[in-house]
Structure 1
Amino acid sequence: MSAVATKPPLPSRSHPAPRAAAPAPRAAVPVVVSPMLTRLAAEHATGTLHRERGTLHLTDGQVTYAESPSAARRPVTAPGDDRPLAEGAWELYRLEALYDAAYFALAPSSVPGRFRYGAPPPPEHGGPVPVGVLERSVVRRRALLHRIWPDARADTAPLTRAPAAPGPAGTAPRSVTARQWAVLERVDGIRTAPEIARDLGRLAFHTLVDVRRLAAAGLVRPGPLRDDRAADPDITLLKRLRDALEAL
């Protein structure tokens, strides 16, 4: 007897073939600029975080005030005016100044930070800013500056004019804005971007943006870094020993 070939049965319409499951959406990766600051926020800590380039004041795990030698302190009057700042303008400027100082205070550093619990914030502190919001602001600012010009030395080194840049009595190129020209006029091989910002009465980060754009246009370039550690190679070790002793 010869075998009769049969066709395989068709799949039942009542039971369709299972579809591949859609991939699960990726969870947002939290931004961590300073693990120590993130831990203090989780602890709802109150006190002062001292870092190499600035200080952050925390109340119940949120940042209420920031200060840095590279950032100007908040004025009590409007820039270029003797009139006191209105309440709304004051709060806006307070937040801008806080983000400005925090950008420098949270800069990468080989020197460990230290936290002093219970230290009260300065009397002029305002409303708190969550640590996550502050760290995302720092990351966005770093990314913006990197897109404009990737050499971060322009933020801290003395600035010099490029050979093709016009001199102090020259005429601003068409591609240079009035704000940038005011910065370029103060580039003398000695002053840094934060020092130029202080001289102009501007927030430091806004001046960093102008400096990076001038660097991208080939008009300025960073000179040798002014770093006190160059005179003493053991200064970082000494700072670590100091921090350890203060923590006892």
Structure 2
Amino acid sequence: MRTAVSPMLVRLADERATGVLIRERGTLYLSEGQVVHAESPAAPGLDVLLSATGRLPRAGWEEAVARAGARQEVGRFLVDSGRLAGGELELCHLGALFDAAFFALAPSSGPSRFRYGVSHWIGPVRPVPAAAVAHESSRRRALLAAVWPYPDVDSAPVVPRAPTADRWIPRRQRVVLSLADGVRTPEAIARALGRPAFHTLLEVRRLAAGGLVETPAAPAPAPASPVLEGVARQYAAPDIHLLRRLRDALEESL
């Protein structure tokens, strides 16, 4: 983890610190140097993931928070009350933790802060070594880049292209495409589906690589003169998506 994106996380893990690491795109809660919870505005929370699958009604989650949040035992309450099995809670919590940590540990120009002694109201579920969280975040970032190395598609509205009639599309991608309306971003689609945001980003990048969704185009520069503007109007705008794919193919053949 010595090359982790957050040197502060390395130091806090070595210190076996307890508290909350606040970064520009999310927060990590630590207990004795291990990550016990993570949150990010870009990632659906544990409550969304549980309710979207129908495993836990929203009312059940709200009751758990109301009855056990003050003593920071929401996770234990969900298990002890029979609403979730212990293994179910651990798996879903780990999914939400790694998903939020991916965004929280994203490269950032903003400052990081740590508040000692702060703990989360969900309480202990299953701690994860900070090194494992950092490694997984880096692995996911590399995977996205390998699939489609243009991150602008991650935050832009997803605009579908018309697929060919004989094109086979995996079910996970079809579900994402069904919500691609030119308005929803990958984050909005993830929340609508109740899926981790990273997995939705991955499917959107796969769709982009397959030519099934539009990719954001850079703003057109202002014309140098009225004469040049008139010449430019004689030609159609270039297909940015096609040019990128051609460039990638040429690079691979070299």
Normalising to structure 1: TM-score of the pair? 0.70
Superposition CA RMSD, Å: 2.3
2:121 equivalent in structure 1: 122
Tell me the equivalent position of 1:209: 202
Match of 1:73 in 2: 45
Structure 1, unaligned runs of 5 or more: 1-28, 226-248
1:60 maps to: 32
Residue in structure 2 matched with residue 194 of structure 1 by the alignment: 187
- Partners of 1:107 and 1:215 lie apart in 2 by 22
Superposed displacement of residue 124, structure 1:
3.9
Conserved? CA contact 2:52–2:193, under 8 Å? no
**Which residue of structure 2 aligns with residue 12 of structure 1?**
none
Identity %: 52
The alpha-carbon distance between structure 1 residues 172 and 91, as it changes in their structure 2 partners (threshold 3 A), is farther
Equivalent residues in 2 for 1:9-88 (5 A)? 30-75=2-47, 77=50, 79-82=52-55, 84-88=83-87
Q: Distance between the aligned counterparts of 1:173 and 1:89, measured in 2? A: 39
Question: Could you tell me how far 1:216 is from its partner in structure 2?
Answer: 0.2
- 2:34 counterpart letter in structure 1: Q
Post-superposition CA distance 1:69-98 (Å, at most 9, x none) = 111111384643256443212211111110
Secondary structure in 2 aligned to 1:48?
Answer: strand
Q: Name whichever structure is richer in helix by fraction.
A: 2
Q: Judging changes above 3 Å, is the alpha-carbon distance between structure 1 residues 68 and 172 closer, same or farther for their aligned structure 2 residues?
A: farther
Matched-pair contact (CA < 8 Å) for 2:43–2:99: yes
How many residue pairs were aligned? 191
- Is contact 1:145–1:209 with CA below 8 Å preserved after alignment? yes
Matched, 1:111 2:124: no
Structure 2 gap ranges (5+): 57-82, 219-254
What's the TM-score once normalised by structure 2's chain length? 0.69
The aligned amino acid for 1:137 is: E
2:36 match: secondary structure: strand
Q: C-alpha distance in 1, partners of 2:211/2:88?
A: 36
The residue identity in structure 2 corresponding to 1:139 is: S
Q: Summarize the Cα distance change of 1:53–1:62 in structure 2 as closer, same or farther, 3 Å threshold.
A: same
Residues 150, 117 of structure 1: CA spacing in aligned structure 2 closer, same or farther, 3 A cutoff? Answer: same
